[in-house]
Amino acid sequence: MTAVLLIALLLAPLSKLIAAESPLKVVNVAVPAVSLLQSPLFVAIDAGAFRKHGMEVRYIVTGARTIQALVGGSVQFAQGVSSRTVPAAVLAGADAVLIANFSDKLLFTMHSAPEINSLQDLKGKVVGVSGIGGSTDFATRLALREAGLTPDKDVAIRGVGGVPETVAALKAKAVQAGTLSPPSSFVAQKAGFKLLFDMSSLGVDYVSSGLGVKKSYLAANRLEAKQFLMAMIEGAKILTTNEEFALRVLAKHTRISDREVLKNSYSYLRPYFLKVPYPSPRAIKDTLDVLAKDLPKAKDADPKEFIDNSLVRELESNRYIESVYGK
């Protein structure tokens, strides 16, 4: 008996070590671009917020096909899906739902060659977007209609593969204007391309930094989804309160070393990040109203069909979000 107890005492530290070094669960996340709209994810990764919950989070840049990557099952989460992409997928019969959103404004800007002075000057020209059917495409069509132009008739819209690729297309003169988000918008501005139109002026609420999952995944993995969201909230808090750390993370993930571009991007977006990341039914409704012009099913759709607020509600009611941010 003495020998057994001695062996048990000797093995106890070893068992603790093995438990401490147990492998983290790999969780894959799709993002449309390495944009500041997705920066709560990047900050949460680099701050170790996911590791606290036993996750090794890896992201894949999927452009305008982010929602397809989620629905197809190649990722567990999609960060950067929107009030355009999720409803469009669900109305087409896909399994997807928004469980959080970190910004509810249409935070895109259109930049153009210097000789173009207004949206009306784009008639007969080509505008570059990340991909047809994505958020930059939606924002572009909304802005053109606001200016009295008919997308695809008066103005050609070309998917070029991503936000940095849109800047490259502008430089190559393959497009005469492009719809961008920070930091690429400030890269374009510094390169001499004119800020032609700011989509935030349209007054449309929009889920621009949405976190999406499949409903079936949420039902089977609710605890993991909750822990993932907890880490994202921690990332958003660090992002908005620790500028120097945020800028280092952004430089690493965007591979942009120009501090002026990063700082301008950060200053532009920081006020728009939400502390309590509810996906807004109004943002869904605003988007559905516009989407109905191209997708008739959107006209009578209920915004609540595309949202599951239960995780955010739980984290708010148990004061987790308050504990992260402080009173």
CA 188 – CA 170 distance, rounded (Å): 8
Per-residue pLDDT reduced to its tens digit, 189-226: 999 999 999 998 988 889 999 999 999 999 999 999 99
Q: Report residue 240 as tokens.
A: 């908005």
Other C-beta atoms within 10 Å of 125: how many?
Answer: 15
List of residues 6+ apart from 156 with CB closer than 8 A: 125, 126, 127
Question: Residue 266's closest CA among 248, 285, 243?
Answer: 243
Helix H or strand E encompassing 97: strand 97-101
- Cβ–Cβ under 8 Å, residues 85 and 133: yes
Residues 6+ away with beta carbon under 8 Å from 105 = 200, 205, 206, 208, 272
Query: Both 255 and 284 in a single domain?
Result: yes
Domain span at residue 259?
25-105+206-325
* Same domain (yes/no): 122, 50: no
28 in the Ramachandran plot: left (φ > 0), alpha (ψ -120 to 50) or beta?
beta
* Residue 130 confidence (pLDDT) above 50: yes
Q: Dihedral of the CA atoms 247, 252, 253, 254 (nearest 10)?
A: 70
Average pLDDT, the chain: 91
Please say if the pLDDT value at position 5 is more than 50: no
Q: How many structural domains is the chain composed of? A: 2
- Which among 153, 151, 123 is positioned nearest to 138, based on CA atoms? 151
β-pair partners for 214:
none
Q: Which of 202, 222, 239 is the last residue of a domain?
A: 202
Which of 202, 220, 247 marks a domain boundary?
A: 202
143: CATH: 3.40.190.10
**Same domain, yes or no: 34 and 56:** yes
Q: State which amino acid sits at residue 279.
A: P
Residue 15 lies in a domain: no
Q: Would the pLDDT of 6 be above 50?
A: no
Residue pointed to by tokens 């438990």: 19
- Do residues 190 and 300 both lie within one domain? no
- Predicted local confidence at residue 128, as pLDDT: 96
Please check whether residue 2 lies inside any domain of the structure: no
Last residue of a domain, one of 181, 202, 223: 202
97 and 176 in a single domain? The answer is no
Does residue 4 have a pLDDT over 70?
no
Name the band, by pLDDT with cuts 50, 70 and 90, for residue 164.
Answer: confident
pLDDT score recorded for residue 295: 86
pLDDT of residue 2: 53
Supply φ then ψ for residue 322, to 5 degrees: -65, -40
Q: 5 lies in a domain?
A: no
Residue 24's identity, in one-letter code, is: L
84: nearest Cα among 99, 64, 70, 100: 64
| Category of 170 on φ-ψ map: left (φ > 0), alpha (ψ -120 to 50) or beta | alpha
**Residues 271 and 239 grouped into a single domain:** yes
**pLDDT tens digits, 272-300:** 999 999 998 999 998 998 888 888 899 99
Mean pLDDT of the region 318-326: 95
Instruction: Tell me what the mean pLDDT of segment 45-51 comes to.
Output: 98
Q: Tell me if residue 112 falls in helix, strand or coil.
A: strand
Most confident of 44-48, 101-105, 291-295: 44-48
Residue 53 backbone dihedrals phi, psi, to 5 degrees: -105, 15
